[in-house]
Structure 1
Amino acid sequence: MDYSALSPTLRVMLGIACFVVVVAGMKAATEILVPFLLSAFIATLCAPALMWLESRRVPTTLAVVLVVLVVVLTVGGFSMVVAASINDFAKQVPGYQARLLQETEAVTTWLAGHGVELSQQMVKEQINPGKVMDMVRKVVTGFGNVLTDFFLIFLTVLFILFEASSFPVKFRRAMG
């Protein structure tokens, strides 16, 4: 089809329609796209270390293993710190809930002393400690989803790193 024959308005509308289709496709493929983009990001961060090791005449396989080992240890350490923090927070939630109720009662009393009348029930409905637990649950669920995708991300990073050293040669060969 000859797009130059289309009116400028129609070309703009066609461009917008294409953009909407691409964005909708990306939204539909989020569960697949996000792990691969995360893999590409991690591999991009690791590539300089890999190239540095290869410039020191470390074999590619050993260089990739060393870089991936550093990444796995870093992610593992970070995961342990986050898990410990979540565990400590979960243990202290009852204390936080009691403290939150004390503070809301103190604020309500202070406001009542200054002529602002609020019912305790209304304040308790607005400041719900259960919302905090819901937020923590969502964070833990999101962290669990990342760990579920970890194996796919790990394999993709490995593949990208193994291909990183030979990519320039393959690219030159493909472009003639």
Structure 2
Amino acid sequence: MDTDDNSVPASILLYGTAAVILTIGMREIGSILVPIFFSIFAFLIFSPIVHWLQRKKVPGSISVGLVIIFLIIFAIAAVLLVTGSLLQLSTQIPEYQTQLTSIFENIERYLPSSGQYSSIEGILRDVGAFLLGLTVGILTGALNAGTTIALIVITTAFLLLDAAGAPKKLEREIEDQPVLLLRVREFGRSLVDFILIRTETNLIGGIGTAILLLIGRIDFAILWGFLTFLLGYIPYLGFFLAAVPPVLLALFKYGAIGAIAVLVGIWLINVLIENVLFPSLAGKSLKLSPSIVFLSLFYWGYVLGGSGALIAIPLTMVVKMILESSDNTRWMAKLMESGSKE
């Protein structure tokens, strides 16, 4: 009994030390891990399409080729969309800055001229400069991330080429270990289901946002819809990051009322996606507590940079499933689960 009690602090110290070492190591090779992780998740998204084509009697090599061609077209279209929009936006930034200055000058007319309010005026200008910088930073980051897309596409293509035979190979290797086979299947099914459902709901949210902005005649509506789709993988914070650029442009074009209307519209789409559509599709598949979800954003963002936040939830699910695979670490996985009763 005493031995078991004494082993608990030792186990915590051991696992904590291992986690710190692993974190430092992953951070050092983050530039290598990011394209690898994105390639694996892209493979998980597109491999069901390969299997579906095979069930329709399409030969394996042709089905993989069709999916790879679709992936390349999608990647090229995304890069062209972001690059073209960024170039157009860069030419209009001086105009937006002028409009923002005009807005703050109008606000200043309603503020008392006493010295105690000069700090408020400075704060307003700083906020405006921050929002403009944030908008440009988001787009510049997306453009810089596009430099790794070619590597991701190539790696995903090689993974897809082996997709048809992988399940059979895996079953042959572990056919004498039914428990391990069951865990591997459950692991893959849960992860793929989450990624596919998250991608589908993000796509609906991105299309809905783009349509809303097109109706409102907001500049670069398609780009903001794509940004909404992309940042939808970041829980809690993604919505606010995606809403900043179109709300700013609505402020420039229609004033405060227009900005509020766009913000409310995007918020309603987000509520529909996150509170109605996604829970109804995902069910209980995401058994992570909200605190773990939120903390995972900061952890994977620290380890892998901004790209880590996009795949923080799938990576955290992988960690949880790995912890569940051992009797010695299963208690850690339980701590990561949501406390709500089924």
TM-score, normalized by the shorter chain, greater than 0.5: yes
Matches within 5 A, 1:15-94: 15-94=15-94
Structure 1 match to 2:206: none
Supply the distance in 1 between the matched residues of 2:174 and 2:35 (Cα, whole angstroms): 29
8 Å Cα contact 1:35-1:153 kept in structure 2? yes
RMSD of equivalent CA atoms: 3.0
- Change beyond 3 A, Cα 1:4–1:124: closer
Which residue pairs with 2:264 in the alignment? Answer: none
Number of the residue aligned with 1:110:
110
TM-score by length of 2: 0.45
User: Structure 2 CA distance, aligned partners of 1:129 and 1:11?
Assistant: 49
Count of matched residue pairs: 173
| Counterpart residue number, 1:9 | 9
Alignment partners' CA distance in 1, 2:137 and 2:7:
53
What's the offset of the Cα at 1:38?
A: 0.6
Question: Take 1:119 and 1:34, find their aligned partners in 2: how far apart are those partners?
Answer: 43
Mapped contact 2:35–2:148 kept (Cα < 8 A): yes
For 1:90 and 1:83, locate their aligned partners in 2 and report how far apart those are by CA, in whole Å. 11
Structure whose CA Rg is larger:
1
Structure 1: which amino acid aligns with 2:172? R
Distance of 2:156 and 2:117 partners within structure 1: 59
The separation in 1 between residues aligned to 2:8 and 2:123, in whole angstroms, is 57
Structure 1 pair 129–85 and aligned structure 2 pair: CA distance change class (3 A): same
Where structure 2 has 5 or more consecutive residues not aligned to the other structure, the ranges are 176-342
Identical aligned residues as a percent: 25
The 2-side partners of 1:23 and 1:120 are apart by 42
Higher relative contact order (CA 8 A, sep 6+): 1
Query: How far has the Cα of 1:122 moved from its partner?
Result: 3.5
C-alpha distance in 2 between matches for 1:120 and 1:7: 57
Deviation string 1:68-118 (CA, Å, 9 cap, x unpaired) is 111111222222222232222112111111111111122122112699631
Contact 1:104 1:123 in 2 (8 A): no
For residue 150 of structure 1, give the secondary structure of its aligned residue in structure 2: helix
Calculate the TM-score normalised by the size of structure 1. 0.82
Greater shift in the superposed pair: 114-123 or 28-37 = 114-123
Report the more deviating stretch, 52-61 or 37-46. 52-61
- Separation (CA, whole Å) in 2 of partners of 1:69 and 1:156: 14
Q: Per-residue CA shift, 1:117-172, capped at 9, x if unaligned?
A: 316984586256487357525632x3343332222212210111111111112112
Tell me what 1:171 maps to.
170
